[in-house]
Amino acid sequence: MTDKEEIIKNKLNAICKYIGVAPEISIKPEDNNLYMVDISGNDLSFIIGYRGESLDALQNLVNQMIFKQLNEWVQVVIDINGYKNQKQGKIEQIAKRFIDKVRFLGHEVDLPPMEAYERRFVHMLLSQYDDVESESRGEGRNRRVVIKPKK
């Protein structure tokens, strides 16, 4: 385990101990400064929170703590009990339904507001299609993906 992985694990263990849970934590380095963290255990839904808001806050907190300690940006992506993977599957289904809707109606359609990583996933998914394109619009919590026919 590298120094960065050890720091990530220590920070997460300290947070989990503070909130009174003892989950299993596995860390998988992806790219240069990207680490995928899987947290698994029983009764962790309160850490996920409403629509993943607490999970996003935890991820942001851990990223800030690591930056403060290392003085360099390390991106840590945290998933709890496969929540983000399940959510990505749902987002993919929604995006495909909206692609069909755009094709049928012939004009742009707005998806519901999404987090940044969800919008990025939708943009990457739509880049595989030749007849539609996407862009993000809005500010803050109301930022959403707009799917429109290619001209």
Query: What is the number of domains present in the chain?
Result: 2
pTM (two decimals): 0.75
- Where a domain ends, among 36, 62, 81? 81
Domain limits at 26?
Answer: 3-81
The domain that holds 94 is classified in CATH as 3.30.1370.50
What's 141's DSSP letter? G
Q: E-strand spans in the chain? A: 24-29, 34-40, 75-80, 109-110, 132-137, 144-149
Is the same domain home to 72 and 46? Answer: yes
Is the same domain home to 7 and 74? Answer: yes
Is the same domain home to 36 and 68? Answer: yes
Contact by Cβ (8 Å): 13, 21: no
Work out whether the CA dihedral 95, 99, 100, 106 comes out positive or negative. Answer: positive
pLDDT value of position 43: 87
pLDDT value of position 28: 93
pLDDT value of position 30: 87
Is the same domain home to 31 and 17? Answer: yes
Which helix (H) or strand (E) segment holds residue 126: the answer is: helix 116-126
Is the same domain home to 99 and 126? Answer: yes
Is the same domain home to 22 and 92? Answer: no
Summarize pLDDT for 84-135 with one digit per residue, the tens: 889 999 999 999 999 999 999 999 999 999 888 889 999 999 999 999 999 9
Other beta carbons within 10 Å of 58: 23
Is the same domain home to 44 and 9? Answer: yes
